[in-house]
Amino acid sequence: MYLLVLFLPFINAFFLGFFGRLIGTTGSGILSTICMGSSTLIAFFLAYEVLVNDAVVHIELYKWIESEIFITHVGLLFDTLSVTMLLVISSISTLVHIYSTSYMSEDPHVPRFICYLSLFTFLMMVLVTSDNYLQLFIGWEGVGVCSYLLVAFWTTRIQANKAAIKAIVVNRVGDVGVILGMVLIYKTIGSLDFLTFNGGSIGSGIMDRGYSGGGPYESPQAPFAIIGILLLIGCIGKSAQLGLHTWLPDAMEGPTPVSALIHAATMVTAGVFLMIRSFPLFEKAPFTLLIITIFGALTAFFAATVGLVQNDLKKVIAYSTCSQLGYMVLIIGIEGSQNVGLFHLVNHAFFKALLFLSAGSVIHSMTIDEQDMRKMGGLIHSIPFTYTMMLIGSFSIMGLPYLTGFYSKDLILELTYFCKNMAIPYRGSIGSPELYIQKDLGDPYPVQAYGLGPFRASAFAFWLGTVAALLTAFYSIRLVYITFIITPNSPKESLISSHINIVDKRVLTVLSLLCFGAIFVGYLIQDILIGDIEHPIVPPFVKVMPTFMGLFGMGLCLWAQRASSLLPLYRGNPLGSSFLFSIYSFLSGAWQGDHLINKLVAIPLFSFGHWGIYKTLDRGWLELFGPQGISTIALRVSQFISNLQSGVISRYALVFLSFTIIFLALGAG
C-alpha cells in the first residue's frame, strides 16, 4: 500500500505516454480518474495509520550507492510531514486531473497533457517521501522538468516557451544551492539520511570528523549556518521568494490546470517542504532562522503590493501565491513553529486551487479566452456559481473568521507578535547581538525570537505580515469586483460564449469539493498538525487585527473602486498625477525586479561569459596555445620543410652550404 500510493500516478503517466493515442481523450480521462482517485484513497488510509495513530514507517527498498564510507539506500519515509504532503498532493492533483478532462476537452493532445500531470504528481510524491537528500533531489529536479513541459505545453505560443525557459533557468540557481548544501551536509554530518539528524545524532557525526563539542549548543555553528543559507537559496528558487520570484508570474502562460497544480500542491511548496524537513539543521544556527524570517516577511509584503495593480486574472492569483509562500517561510524562521508553516501550506492548497480553477472557468466563459479583468465585468449574472466559488476562495485567503485561511494566517501573526516581545541570548557564533529584556506576558512560552543589534526580525516580520494581510484583502476583492460586479467593459458578443451558462458536472464537482476544503479544512486538521503548539497569550487587539485588516482592506477596495471616477481630477494637478503614475508604474513593474536582474546580473554575466570566457579564453588563449596553435605551428613548419623539397638543384646546394656553414660555426665555437 505504501508503494502503491506512489506508483499509481507513475502507471497512469506510463500508459498515457505510450498508449494515450490509442485510448483517446475519453479513455485518458477515465484511466487518470481511476489511478489518481485510488492513490488519494490510499493516502487517506496512510493518514489514518500515521497521523491518527502517531506512527512512523520507514521502508528501505534497496542499496543504491556504495562508495567507501558513503552508502545510500532507496527508501521511503512516511511520517507526519510526508503523509500530510501526500494527502495534499494526491487530493489536489486528482481534482485537477478531473477538471482538466473538461477544461482541455477541445485540445487534440489531452493524453499527453494528463501524462505530464501524472508524471508531475509522481515526482512530487517521490520528493516528499524520500528518506535522504539525494533521493529528494531526484524529485526536486523532476518537478522542475515537468513544470517546463507543462508551462510550454502549447508549443506554438512564443510567450509560453519563453516562460518555461525562464522558469527552468531561474530554478537552476536554487538547485546549485541545494547541491552545495547536500555536499556540506555530508561533509559535516557524514550522512544524507533524514533519520540521522532527526534522531539527534548530528553531534556525534561532527565529533567523528574532528570537531569539538557535540551538543545542540556546543557544536560548531558555522557549517550549519552555511548549510542553512544554501538550502534557503534552494527554497528561494523553488518557492519563488524575493529575488528568484520572477519565474512564477510568467508561468501563468501555461494552461490553467497547470497553474493550479504548480501553485497549490506541488512545485512551489517543494521549497517550504525542504525547509521544514531540514529544520533540525537550521536549529543549530539561529542566525539562519533570522534570515529566513526576513526573507519570508519581505516576500509576503512585496508580492501583495504587486498584486494590487495586476490586470491579468491569473497573475493576481499568482502574486497572491508568492505572498502566501512568504507567510510560510516567515513562520518557519521562528523556532518551534514549523508545523504552523505546514498547516498554512495545507490550507493554502485548497483555497488557492479553488481560486485558480474558478479563474479557469471565468476564462473559458469568455468567447476568446480573455484573461484581462479590464475586459470583463458583469459576469455575476452569467456565471453565478463561479462567482460564488471565487468569492469564497477570496474570503478564505483574506482570513475571514472560521474559513480555512483564518486558522493559519491568524496563528502566524500571533506567534510572530508574541516573539517580538520575547528575547533570548543569541546562540550563534557570528557577531554579538544585543540582548533584549523579556516583557512580562504572563507565561514563558518556549517560542523564541532573535535580535541583532537594534533590529529585531520578528517585529519587522509582524508588521510587514500585518500590512500584507490588508493588501491581500484589497487585491482579492478588487479581482472579484472588477471581474463580476462592475458594468461590462466589452461588447456583449465577446462576453457571452456558447457554453457560458452550461456548468459541466465535472467542473461543478471539483469546485464544490475545493469550496468545502476552503471552508472547513483549517478547522478539521488544526489539532492534528498543530495540536502541540499552544496559542500564545497576546493582547486582544492582536487577536482581532488580521480580521480587522481584512475588513478594512475590503472596504478600502470598494471605496477606491467607487471613487475611481474622481481620478481624472488629478489631471489638473501635475504633481499628484505624476506621483500616482510613478507608484502605479513601479508596482505594475513588480518593483522593476526583471529589469534589475537583467541589468545587474544577467547582462553582466552574459557579457563576461561571451567576451571574457568564450572569446578571450576559449576561442582566444586556449586555442592559441592549445590545439589550434599547435596545429597552426605544425602546419607552417611542415609547409616550410615542404617548400624546401622543390626539386631545384641550386636550392638544394644552397641549403647544403647553409647547414655546412652553421655546423662549422658551431664546431668552431
Check residue 300 and give its pLDDT. Answer: 94
Read off the pLDDT of each residue in 60-68 and give the average, rounded to a whole number. Answer: 84
Residue 246 scores a pLDDT above 80: yes
Q: Which residue has the higher pLDDT, 585 or 35?
A: 35
Check residue 449 and give its pLDDT. Answer: 42
Please name the residue that has the C-alpha cell 523553488.
Answer: 238
Residue 528 scores a pLDDT above 90: no
Check residue 492 and give its pLDDT. Answer: 63
Check residue 108 and give its pLDDT. Answer: 87
pLDDT tens-digit series, residues 166-213: 999 999 999 999 999 999 999 988 888 988 876 544 443 343 343 333
Lowest average pLDDT, out of 7-21, 185-199, 510-524, 560-574, goes to 560-574
**Long-range CB pairs of 28-34, under 8 A, 24+ apart, other chains included:** 28/101, 28/110, 28/111, 28/114, 29/97, 29/98, 29/101, 29/110, 29/114, 32/97, 32/101, 32/114, 32/117, 32/118, 33/94, 33/97, 33/98, 33/101
Query: Around Cβ 539, how many Cβ atoms within 10 Å?
Result: 11
Q: Which residue has the higher pLDDT, 212 or 68?
A: 68
Residue 447 scores a pLDDT above 50: no
Check residue 190 and give its pLDDT. Answer: 85
The full length of the chain comes to: 669
Residue 422 scores a pLDDT above 50: no
Asked if 243 contacts 302 with a C-beta cutoff of 8 angstroms, the reply is no
Element (H, E) at 520: helix 505-530
| φ, ψ (nearest 5 deg) of residue 63 | -75, 130
- DSSP assignment of 384-445 equals HHHHHHHHHHHHHHHT-TTSHHHHHHHHHHHHHHHHHT-------SSS-PPP-PPP--SS--
pLDDT range class, residue 142, cuts 50, 70, 90: very high
Read off the pLDDT of each residue in 529-542 and give the average, rounded to a whole number. Answer: 78
Check residue 669 and give its pLDDT. Answer: 59
Lowest average pLDDT, out of 55-64, 497-506, 576-585, goes to 497-506
Q: Which residue has the higher pLDDT, 232 or 621?
A: 232
pLDDT range class, residue 639, cuts 50, 70, 90: confident
Residue 462 scores a pLDDT above 80: yes
Check residue 136 and give its pLDDT. Answer: 94
- Percent above pLDDT 70 for the chain: 86
Q: Which residue has the higher pLDDT, 505 or 632?
A: 505
* 3-state percent helix, strand, coil for the chain, nearest multiple of 5: 75, 5, 20
pLDDT range class, residue 606, cuts 50, 70, 90: confident
Read off the pLDDT of each residue in 439-447 and give the average, rounded to a whole number. Answer: 38
Read off the pLDDT of each residue in 26-43 and give the average, rounded to a whole number. Answer: 94
Read off the pLDDT of each residue in 122-147 and give the average, rounded to a whole number. Answer: 93
Residue 644 scores a pLDDT above 80: no
- Percent above pLDDT 90 for the chain: 44
Check residue 652 and give its pLDDT. Answer: 77
pLDDT tens-digit series, residues 350-395: 999 999 999 998 888 876 678 888 888 888 888 899 999 999 999 9
Check residue 318 and give its pLDDT. Answer: 92
Average pLDDT, the chain: 82
Read off the pLDDT of each residue in 576-591 and give the average, rounded to a whole number. Answer: 79
Nearest to 249 by CA among 154, 324, 315: 315
pLDDT tens-digit series, residues 4-20: 999 999 999 999 999 98
pLDDT tens-digit series, residues 86-117: 999 999 999 999 999 988 888 889 999 999 99
Lowest average pLDDT, out of 304-318, 462-476, 570-584, goes to 570-584
pLDDT range class, residue 564, cuts 50, 70, 90: low
- DSSP assignment of 234-295 equals HHHHHTT-TTS-THHHHGGGS-HHHHHHHHHTSHHHHHHHHHHHTHHHHTT-HHHHHHHHHH
pLDDT range class, residue 536, cuts 50, 70, 90: confident
Please name the residue that has the C-alpha cell 472547513.
Answer: 520
Alpha carbons 35 and 513: distance in angstroms, whole number: 19
Check residue 220 and give its pLDDT. Answer: 60
Check residue 664 and give its pLDDT. Answer: 83
Check residue 302 and give its pLDDT. Answer: 94
